[in-house]
């Protein structure tokens, strides 16, 4: 299961009718640390989703060194003789965690963009950009064989590019919701794509 840690600095625009007040450098530095900590927590949650199901299915998880374009990463892989349904669940688990976390954040705090929440924004940024990164690799059908999207595609016997679209859609929709929280259509479209991803497990056997 390939891991790519990508960070997007989501700025906090000033509220209407307010004059921006410059922050002390120490305050800004602390916010950056919190943002990065949130992103690291997002990465940990993604991997924890895989590991929980690895343990539940006795998949014998192990860490393996992999590369993407010459850049070294680590992957948490598992035994290859699992049933397609278990393979799909384990491979999907990281995305399910990301999508659920984003849904909780955007449902509880639809105005997240305007909130002072550097750690929450860091986790949100990781969740969005990790999905975009995975989707890009899946569309290109490149990268280590341990990548999550390939495992999902093989388990349900579909082209990996279809899985890429399934992973990309909720990420883009949630990103849109971040900037346009009033867009009800984006909220329901995002939820529908997330549900569709989970229900795809019924296709595996």
- Residue spans of the domains in the chain: they are 27-203
pLDDT value at 13 more than 60 = no
Collect all residues with Cβ–Cβ distance below 8 Å to 104 and sequence separation of at least 6. Answer: none
Q: What is the pLDDT of residues 26-53, one digit of tens each?
A: 688 899 999 999 999 999 999 999 999 9
pLDDT for res 184 = 96
SS (H, E, C) the chain: CECCCCCCCCCCCCCCCCCCCCCCHHHHHHHHHHHHHHHHHHHHHHHHHHHHHHHHCCCCCEEEEEEECCEEEEEEECCCCCCHHHHHHHHHHHHHHHHHHHHHHHHHCCCHHHCCCHHHHHHHHHHHHHHHHHHHHHHHCCCCCCCHHHHHHHHHCCCHHHHHHHHHHHHHHHHHHHHCCCCHHHHHHHHHHHHHHHHHHHHCC
What integer best gives the mean pLDDT of the chain? Answer: 86
pLDDT value at 68 more than 90 = no
CA distance 34 to 37: 5
**Backbone angle region of 70, left / alpha / beta, with phi > 0 → left and psi within -120 to 50 → alpha:** left
The model carries a pTM of 0.82
pLDDT for res 61 = 84
pLDDT band at 144 (very low <50, low <70, confident <90, very high): confident
* Greater model confidence, 60 or 168: 168
pLDDT band at 1 (very low <50, low <70, confident <90, very high): very low
Mean per-residue pLDDT, 123-134? 96
């Amino acid at each position: 299961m390939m891991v790519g840690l990508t960070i997007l600095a989501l700025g906090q625009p000033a509220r209407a009718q307010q004059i921006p007040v410059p922050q002390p450098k120490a305050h800004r530095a602390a916010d950056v640390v919190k943002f990065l900590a949130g992103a690291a927590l997002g990465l940990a949650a993604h991997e924890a989703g895989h590991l929980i199901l690895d343990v539940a299915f006795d998949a014998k998880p192990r860490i393996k060194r992999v590369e993407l374009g010459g850049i070294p990463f680590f992957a948490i892989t598992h035994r290859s003789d699992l049933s397609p349904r278990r393979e799909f669940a384990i491979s999907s688990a990281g995305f399910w965690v990301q999508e659920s976390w984003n849904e909780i954040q955007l449902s509880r705090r639809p105005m997240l963009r305007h909130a002072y929440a550097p750690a929450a924004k860091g986790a949100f940024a990781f969740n969005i950009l990790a999905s975009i990164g995975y989707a890009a690799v899946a569309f290109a059908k490149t990268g280590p064989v341990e990548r999550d999207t390939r495992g999902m595609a093989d388990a349900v016997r579909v082209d990996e590019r279809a899985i890429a679209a399934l992973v990309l859609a909720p990420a883009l929709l949630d990103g849109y919701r971040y900037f346009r929280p009033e867009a009800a259509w984006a909220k329901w479209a995002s939820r529908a794509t997330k549900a569709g991803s989970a229900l795809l497990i019924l296709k595996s056997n």
